[in-house]
A and B are shown apart, each in its own frame.
Chain A
Amino acid sequence: AQSVTQPDIHITVSEGASLELRCNYSYGATPYLFWYVQSPGQGLQLLLKYFSGDTLVQGIKGFEAEFKRSQSSFNLRKPSVHWSDAAEYFCAVGVYSGGGADGLTFGKGTHLIIQP
């Protein structure tokens, strides 16, 4: 079965600084990878996704992520964070089983705190 690890439970970054959130997955084949963001009191919003092709994918709100097969990683980055980026971030992996929709497997999340 697939799994997702987000090693950092909390990360604190100063406003304007760069950000990298780590995500490692475990799966035997090429997975489908996603990053979601959850603002307080809200549902999850898709930031970006990777299925195939270019390993650097661009998402909304200035985020990007890079798929590295050799490291089984899909880290999320942003060159300059804004206070509004404070939220919970989830990495997720999906697999195609051929039998229908199996949903996604989520990491436990990384809580991002922005310092003024």
Chain B
Amino acid sequence: DVKVTQSSRYLVKRTGEKVFLECVQDMDHENMFWYRQDPGLGLRLIYFSYDVKMKEKGDIPEGYSVSREKKERFSLILESASTNQTSMYLCASSSRTESSYNSPLHFGNGTRLTVT
């Protein structure tokens, strides 16, 4: 089974702090994604990566950056956390060797971030 592990289940940070959310997958997947989930808004794509050192903006990249130095690890960075970034953050990965680039996403359990 694919395992996507997010290093923290809960985080509490102060406004202005630099925040790192870490995600590791163990299935050698090429694609990795960061979503945020908010009540009534569903999941919105922040950034994704389809290869090491590659990154693409999703629908809501403002205030975020990402890093992918190794294939298995994809980090989401909040350069200066703000209260409107309080949310549930979900990491996901998928394979490019399946018949479609849109192979199913495999999700981690999420990191609930609170910015005070």
Interface flag for B21 (CB, 8 Å): no
Whether the pair A96, B104 counts as a contact (CB closer than 8 A) is no
Q: How far is the CB of A104 from chain B (nearest CB, A)?
A: 6
Interface flag for A29 (CB, 8 Å): no
Whether the pair A43, B102 counts as a contact (CB closer than 8 A) is no
Q: How far is the CB of A98 from chain B (nearest CB, A)?
A: 8
Interface flag for B31 (CB, 8 Å): yes
Interface flag for B74 (CB, 8 Å): no
Q: How far is the CB of B31 from chain A (nearest CB, A)?
A: 4
A96 to B99, CA, bound (A): 11
- The 8 Å CB contact of B104, one of A34, A90, A95, is A34
Using known A-B contacts A41-B109, A43-B110, A101-B48, determine if residue A106 contacts B42 with beta carbons closer than 8 Å.
yes
How many residues of A are counted as interface, with CB atoms below 8 angstroms from the partner's CB atoms?
27
Using known A-B contacts A102-B48, A103-B33, determine if residue A32 contacts B56 with beta carbons closer than 8 Å.
no
Using known A-B contacts A32-B100, A101-B50, A101-B96, determine if residue A42 contacts B42 with beta carbons closer than 8 Å.
no
Whether the pair A104, B102 counts as a contact (CB closer than 8 A) is yes
Contact with B along A61-95 (1 / 0, CB 8 A): 00000000000000000000000000000100011
User: A97: nearest residue on chain B (CB-CB)?
Assistant: B101
A107 to B40, CA, bound (A): 10
Whether the pair A90, B90 counts as a contact (CB closer than 8 A) is no
Whether the pair A43, B107 counts as a contact (CB closer than 8 A) is yes
Interface flag for B4 (CB, 8 Å): yes
Using known A-B contacts A43-B4, A51-B99, determine if residue A108 contacts B41 with beta carbons closer than 8 Å.
yes
> A95 to chain B: which residues have CB within 8 Å?
102
> A109 to chain B: which residues have CB within 8 Å?
42
Residues of B within 8 A of A (CB): 4, 30-31, 33, 35, 40-45, 48, 50, 54, 56, 58, 90, 92, 94, 96, 99-102, 104-110
